[in-house]
């Protein structure tokens, strides 16, 4: 007699079809009772694991829809040790790049019938660790993460145990973790080479912070291109605010060796640099040529349209998540993780000095 104790209002022993008021959600045994079968039969009909007599199955189906029964996913997850959910940890959601990544993750998860538990780390390794731990306590079946800056890190196999993890956009130190990146270095290098082809000899790199993997990698590409051309570096890594960016730029531009071209490390730096250039009355590309790393919706409609390195944000999220599901479905812990590097595109618009009426995309 399962007769749930708290007979508040609707605790009829015999469920009478729709009489089941919205008080307590119907359970599998409610269905079983109504259909006159055992709970296991209901379970089987639901999961299709083992054949059930057609007639019985129909009775069960009827009972299910009469009661409007829905399996309790929480109980399932609890019982089965797998929650059909994955965790997603990203630095911020207000950054369109990260948001695009996240979009792809949720999309792929939905295709696999999984739920996504999302959280933001605010670029803080401690928060990130705590959130990952929290997700693990919720028995997520896997985690995709854009690791917080330089979290060398607290994100290790030890924490995750046998739960699969895939890092993307930025790597983690643990070599058993899969990682999906883009060609940061090669992309930066190519666009600097392009600037050099335009005849520039003094090219500045305006960056956010070298402690971010992606930005450092881009800087390395910039450096490499300059070295190969026998040119000098000129970099700044404090584009974290409008003020600092403006100050730095003003300083650079008044010297005799003022740069004639700029490469920014990411969209935030681009924004601050653009704004500073505007303040200073410096025109692109006549006074200075410009290229940015990371494309964004409006890059085509600024004045002039911006030449950028375009990263496949959604693609990266998609690949990372697919990889995660591979791991989840295989169920084995990898000895060594994959390292996938996705190609970037160079989008030539006008800020670099090109005259194309429409953007030219180089793969």
Q: Which residues bind a second copy (CB under 8 A)?
A: 1-2, 4, 8-9, 22, 25, 70-75, 77-78, 83, 85, 88, 92-94, 96, 99-100, 102-103, 106-107, 110, 115-120, 131, 133-139, 156-158, 161-162, 173-176, 267, 271, 274-275, 278, 296-303, 314, 332-333, 335
- Torsion of Cα atoms, 27 then 31 then 37 then 42, to 10°: -70
Q: Binding to DNA (CB under 7 A): which residues in 8-47? A: 24-25, 27-29, 36-41, 43-44, 46-47
Phi and psi at residue 90, in whole multiples of 5°? -135, 160
Cα 360 to the center of its chain, rounded Å: 27
**DSSP for 67-123?**
HT----HHHHHHHHT--SEEEEEES-SSSHHHHHHHHHHHHHHHHTT-EEEEEE-TT
- Interaction of residue 48 with DNA, rule CB under 7 A: no
Closest CA relative to residue 318, chosen from 140, 176, 111: 111
Residue 19 interacting partner from a second copy, DNA, none (CB closer than 5 to 8 Å by kind): none
- For the record, the structure tokens of 264 come out as 């920014």
Say how far apart CA 292 and CA 271 lie, in whole Å.
Answer: 10
Q: Which is nearer to a second copy, 34 or 274 (CB)?
A: 274
275 part of the interface to DNA, by CB under 7 A: no
CB 337 within 8 A of CB 179: yes
What is the three-class DSSP state of 126?
helix
Q: In whole angstroms, what is the distance from residue 82 CA to residue 76 CA? A: 8
* Least distance between a second copy and beta carbon 297 (Å): 6
Cα separation, 363 vs 30, in Å, equals: 60
Which one of a second copy, DNA, none is in contact with 333 (Cβ closer than 5 to 8 A by kind)?
a second copy
Instruction: Name 242's Cβ contacts closer than 8 Å, sequence gap at least 6.
Output: 272, 275, 276
User: Which tokens go with 180?
Assistant: 């999906």
Binding range to DNA, per CB under 7 A, among 77-85, 156-164, 240-248, 355-363: 77-85
Least distance to DNA from the beta carbon of 64, Å? 10
Closest approach, Cβ 85 to a second copy, in A, equals 7
Q: Does 110 contact DNA by CB under 7 A?
A: no
The one of a second copy, DNA, none whose footprint includes residue 40, by CB under 5 to 8 A per kind, is DNA
Least gap, CB of 230 to a second copy (angstroms): 34
Q: Which stretch binds DNA (CB under 7 A): 69-77, 102-110, 193-201, 348-356?
A: 69-77
Contact call for residue 76 and DNA (CB under 7 A): yes
How many residues bind DNA, per CB under 7 A? 32
Please say whether the beta carbons of 183 and 310 come within 8 A: no
**Chosen from DNA, a second copy, none, partner binding at 55 (C-beta under 5 to 8 Å by type):** DNA
Do the beta carbons of residue 192 and residue 204 sit within 8 Å? no
Instruction: Tell me how far, at minimum, the Cβ of 130 lies from DNA, in Å.
Output: 18
Task: Rule CB under 7 A: choose which of 7, 17, 53, 250 binds DNA.
Answer: 53
Q: Which is nearer to a second copy, 267 or 307 (CB)?
A: 267
**Burial class of 199 by CB neighbour count within 10 A (0 to 12, 13 to 18, 19+):** exposed
Pick the closer one to a second copy by CB: 207 or 292. 292
Residue ranges in contact with DNA by CB under 7 A? 2, 4, 24-25, 27-29, 36-41, 43-44, 46-47, 49-53, 55-57, 71-72, 75-76, 78-80
């Amino acid at each position: 007699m399962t007769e749930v104790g708290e007979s508040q209002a609707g605790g009829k022993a015999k469920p009478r079809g729709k009489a089941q008021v919205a008080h307590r959600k119907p359970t599998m045994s409610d269905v079983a009772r109504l259909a006159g079968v055992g709970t296991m039969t209901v379970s089987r009909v639901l999961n299709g694991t083992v054949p059930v007599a057609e007639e019985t199955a129909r009775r069960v189906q009827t009972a299910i829809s009469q009661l409007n029964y829905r399996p309790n996913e929480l109980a399932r997850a609890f019982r089965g040790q797998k929650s059909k959910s994955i965790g997603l940890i990203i630095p911020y959601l207000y950054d369109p790049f990260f948001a695009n990544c996240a979009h792809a993750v949720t999309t792929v998860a939905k295709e696999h019938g999984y739920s996504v538990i999302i959280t933001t780390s605010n670029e803080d390794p401690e928060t990130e660790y705590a959130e990952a731990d929290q997700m693990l306590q919720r028995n997520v079946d896997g985690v995709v993460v854009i690791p917080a800056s330089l979290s060398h890190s607290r994100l290790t196999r030890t924490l995750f145990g046998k739960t699969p993890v895939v890092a993307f956009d930025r790597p983690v130190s643990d070599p058993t973790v899969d990682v999906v990146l883009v060609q940061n270095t090669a992309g930066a290098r190519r666009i600097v080479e392009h600037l050099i082809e335009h005849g520039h000899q003094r090219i500045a790199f305006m960056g956010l912070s070298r402690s971010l993997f992606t930005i450092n990698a881009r800087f390395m590409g910039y450096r490499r291109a300059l070295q190969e051309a026998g040119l000098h570096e000129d970099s700044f890594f404090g584009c974290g605010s409008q003020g600092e960016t403006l100050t730095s730029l003003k300083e650079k531009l008044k010297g005799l060796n003022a740069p004639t071209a700029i490469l920014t490390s990411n969209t935030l730096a681009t924004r601050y640099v653009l704004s500073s250039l505007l303040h200073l009355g410096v025109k692109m590309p006549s006074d200075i040529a410009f290229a940015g790393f990371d494309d964004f919706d409006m890059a085509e409609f600024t004045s002039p349209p911006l030449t950028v390195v375009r990263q496949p944000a959604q693609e990266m999220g998609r690949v990372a998540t697919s990889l995660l599901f591979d791991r989840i479905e295989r169920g084995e812990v990898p000895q060594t993780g994959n390292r996938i590097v996705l190609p970037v595109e160079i989008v030539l618009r006008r800020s670099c000095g090109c005259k194309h009426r429409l953007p030219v995309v180089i793969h």
